[in-house]
Structure 1
């Protein structure tokens, strides 16, 4: 299945995101759309929540998604290594 994007701005955004993350343009578009759908699903799942709260939660999800996109495998390994000394064998903080 093919998708032909004829929007210069969208193509530029995909190119810049790919350069910054080291991912392909298709991968950054895929992640962005997944994050956007999560925001929409969150809003639909909480109809009683006020609009401002839904917006804040959506923004937080977007930021977390962006962080996931920007972290390299080396970054994740360093975070895991740094966190190893925080808890004992029972899972309690030291």
Structure 2
């Protein structure tokens, strides 16, 4: 095997192909509530009894308002990485935004 194979193989990451934040969060979170560009839900990163996770339905950004949790990120890719404990490439592949090119 070529030791430099990882350098010669190109990949394509297309941020524009990330899932629509509303559709993604509606599928991932219980009881997503809100209208317009923001919504709230119970935070999956801690034992949340009341909705404390705010999500921006335009950008996909999220933030838990509970100080001891503090989960936050800029888009659905960051949320997917945090929720499932996986890295960037694995999350990008799972969301269909990473593909090898030849």
By the TM > 0.5 criterion, same fold?
Answer: no
* TM-score class, shorter: under 0.3
The structure in which a higher percent of residues are strand is 2
The structure in which a higher percent of residues are helix is 1
Between structure 1 and structure 2, the one with the greater Rg is 1
Provide TM-score, normalisation by structure 1: 0.24
